[in-house]
Amino acid sequence: MSRYIFLSLLFFIAFSCKEPINHAKPKPPVRGLITEHAMVVSAREEASKIGSDILKKGGNAFDAMVATELALAVAYPYAGNLGGGGFMVYRTNQGDIGAIDYREKAPLAATKNMFLDSLGNVIPDKSTLGAMAVGVPGTVAGVLTVHEKFGTLPIDSILKPVIDLAYKGVIVTNKQEKRIKKYQPLFIKANKDSIPFDKAWKTNDTIKYPKLAKTLERIAIHGKDGFYKGETAETLVNFIQDNGGIITKEDLEKYEAKWRAPIVFTYDDLKIISMSPPASGGVCLAQIMKMIEPFDLHKYGHNTLKTIQVLTEAERRAYADRSFYLGDPDFVDIPIPTLIDTNYLEERMRDFSFAKATKSSEISHGSIEIVESDETTHYSIIDQFGNAISATTTLNGAYGSKLYCTELGFFLNNEMDDFSSKPGAPNMFGLIGAEANSIAPEKRMLSSMTPTIIEKNGSLYMSVGTPGGSTIITSVLQTILNVHEFNMTMQDAVNAPRFHHQWLPDEIRMEPNLFDKKLIKALNDLGYIINEERSPVIGKVDGILVLEDKTLEGGADRRGDDTAVGF
C-alpha cells in the first residue's frame, strides 16, 4: 500500500465517520393538492383560482398564463406586476418546447456608469430605490405576445375576472400585513406623494385597486398599445420623468418581448428545459446538474454532509462562470455549448475533494476561448390538454423601486440593479458581474430566473420555478433533486430545508435552524463557512408533478401564501 493510498484511506475513514447520523423517525410523506386534469400553482389563491377558472372555461395553459400573471399583479403587488418583467418556458402537448423573454430593458438614455459617482464608486440606493432604478417594463408585452401565438380565448374574456378582482379588492393576509409594514419607510422615501400602501393595512382588510382596474381595461381594449402607447404610456412616462427617471415614450413604444430557444440538457433519465440568457438560470442549472451527475446523491442522502459538499462545490464553480460569461445574448457572445459541455464541466470539478472545501478565492471562471462569430414570483400551469408552462416574473426587490404610480395603480421595478454597475461590486443579491453584464442602452440585465419544465421518458413530468434572487437557481435545483434523487412528493420537495452557495461571498447560506448542528460542525471542520442569518427563507418554490397515474400533484410553498388550485 503506497503512502498515498494509506493516507487517502485514513481520510476516508475519518470523514465517513463524521457523517452525522439522523436518528429521527422518517416523517410520513406530505402530498400537495392532487387533481385529475389541470392545475395552477401561484403565490396567491386568488390568482391560482382565476387561472384555473380560465382552464375550466376551456382555455389552455397560455390563456391561463395571461390571467394568472395579471391576477398576480393585482393580488400580489409585492412581486406580481405590470411594471416589471419575466420569463416563461413552455412545452405543448405535442412536445414542442420554447421560451419567451419579457425581461425589462435599460432605457435608451442609460449609460454604462450611470450608477457611479465622479470617483467611480457605486452610489448607494441609486440602482434600487426610485425612478433611476426602473427598467422598461416587459410584462404586458410578454403575456400579450404569448396570447397572440397560443391563446384560444378572447383577451377581454381572460382579463374580465382580473379586472373584477381589482375592483372588488383583495384580502390582506397576515404575511402581507407584515410585508407592507416592513417596507413602508421605503415607500415614503421613494414617493413624493402618499400611496395607498402607506395606510396601516391589517390582516383581513380589503385593498381595492380601481386605478389598476382602469389600466387593465385599457389593455383589454387596445392590447399592447393600451400600455405602451396612448394614455397609460403618457401617464407613466410623465410620472417616471417627474421623479427624476430617464424612460421616454420611445422606450415604451420600442419594447418587445422575444421568443428564445430554451436551454435543454439531460440528467439521468430526465430532459430538463430551462430559461436561456438573459436569464442565467438554464445555463447555471445545466452546469450544476452536469457537474453533480457523476456522484451518487441518492446513496449519500438528502441534505447529508456529502450531498451538501457536492452541490456546494458545483454551485461555486457555476456561479463563477455566471459572473464572467453571462449577459444579454443580443449584446454579448456567450459560449453556451461549451459552458454546458460535459467534458468542460468534468474538468471544472476535477480539483474537488471530499477532504476539504475549495476556496472561492482559488476559483475563477473556467477558461474558454470565445470564438467571434433578490422579490419575484413564480407560477406553474398544466392544462387539461397536456400543455405546460413555467413562468417567473418580478419587480426585482420587494415592491421593486418602491415607486408607485398611483394614477395607474402599480409599482415600478428596480431591475437596473441586476446589471453590474461596476465590475466586482456586488448587487443587492451579492452577485458580482463583469463586462458581459454591464449597462448599455436597450440591453437586458442578467437574471437568475429559472422557470423550468422537465420531461421523463419523453412525457411531461414537472413544471417548477421560484423567486429568491441569486438563490433561485439552487432552489430549483434542490427541488428537482428532492423528487428525483430522494423520492420526495412534490409538496415535500418544496417544503424541505434549503441551502445555497454562489461562489462569492464564500459561504453556504442555510435556512436558519433547519439543519442539524452536528452537520454544520462537520462542514465547518472541512473549511465551509455557514451563514444562517442572511436568508431566513431561501426560495418560494411552486411546482406541479405529473404522477405515474397521470394525476397532477401541486407543490405550493409553505414559506408564502402560495396555493394550488385545479380540477
Give the DSSP H/E element, type plus range, for residue 546.
strand 542-546
Which three cell numbers mark 190? Answer: 421613494
Indicate which residue of 92, 232, 304, 376 is catalytic: 376
376 as an active site residue: the answer is yes
- Asked if 448 is part of the footprint of ligand DON (rule: CB under 6 A), the reply reads yes
- Asked if 396 is part of the footprint of ligand DON (rule: CB under 6 A), the reply reads yes
**Minimal distance, residue 526 CB to ligand DON, in Å:** 29
How far CA 378 is from CA of 14, 72, 195, 476, in Å, comes to 43, 10, 26, 11
- With respect to ligand DON, which residue has the nearer C-beta, 460 or 477? 477
CB 28 within 8 A of CB 56: no
- 12-20, 54-62, 456-464, 467-475 -> range binding ligand DON (CB under 6 A): 467-475
- With respect to ligand DON, which residue has the nearer C-beta, 64 or 395? 395
- 148-156, 209-217, 443-451, 479-487 -> range binding ligand DON (CB under 6 A): 443-451
Identified binder of ligand DON from the candidate list 394, 420, 463, 495, rule CB under 6 A:
394
- Asked if 519 is part of the footprint of ligand DON (rule: CB under 6 A), the reply reads no
As a whole number of angstroms, the distance between CA 76 and CA 175 comes to 11
CA-closest candidate to residue 282, choices 101, 104, 499, 433: 101
User: Which amino acid type is present at position 395?
Assistant: L
Which three cell numbers mark 153? Answer: 380565448
Which three cell numbers mark 429? Answer: 443579491
Q: For the chain, how many residues are written?
A: 567
- Asked if 388 is part of the footprint of ligand DON (rule: CB under 6 A), the reply reads no
- With respect to ligand DON, which residue has the nearer C-beta, 277 or 566? 277
How far CA 412 is from CA of 178, 214, 449, in Å, comes to 21, 17, 18
Identified binder of ligand DON from the candidate list 151, 467, 560, 566, rule CB under 6 A:
467
- 222 burial level (CB within 10 Å; 0-12, 13-18, 19+): middle
As a whole number of angstroms, the distance between CA 209 and CA 399 comes to 16
- Asked if 376 is part of the footprint of ligand DON (rule: CB under 6 A), the reply reads yes
As a whole number of angstroms, the distance between CA 450 and CA 66 comes to 19
Contacts of 367 (CB under 8 A, 6+ apart): none
- Asked if 138 is part of the footprint of ligand DON (rule: CB under 6 A), the reply reads no
- Asked if 449 is part of the footprint of ligand DON (rule: CB under 6 A), the reply reads yes
Identified binder of ligand DON from the candidate list 63, 375, 485, 553, rule CB under 6 A:
375
- Asked if 469 is part of the footprint of ligand DON (rule: CB under 6 A), the reply reads yes
- 30-38, 177-185, 441-449, 500-508 -> range binding ligand DON (CB under 6 A): 441-449
- What letter would DSSP give residue 400? T
- 123-131, 288-296, 444-452, 501-509 -> range binding ligand DON (CB under 6 A): 444-452
- With respect to ligand DON, which residue has the nearer C-beta, 386 or 468? 468
- 293-301, 326-334, 341-349, 468-476 -> range binding ligand DON (CB under 6 A): 468-476
- With respect to ligand DON, which residue has the nearer C-beta, 396 or 401? 396
Do the strands 530-531 and 508-510 form a parallel or antiparallel pair, or are they unpaired?
A: parallel
Which three cell numbers mark 66? Answer: 395571461
Residues that bind ligand DON (CB under 6 A): 374-376, 394, 396, 415, 418, 447-449, 467-469, 472
Task: Kindly list the catalytic residues.
Answer: 376
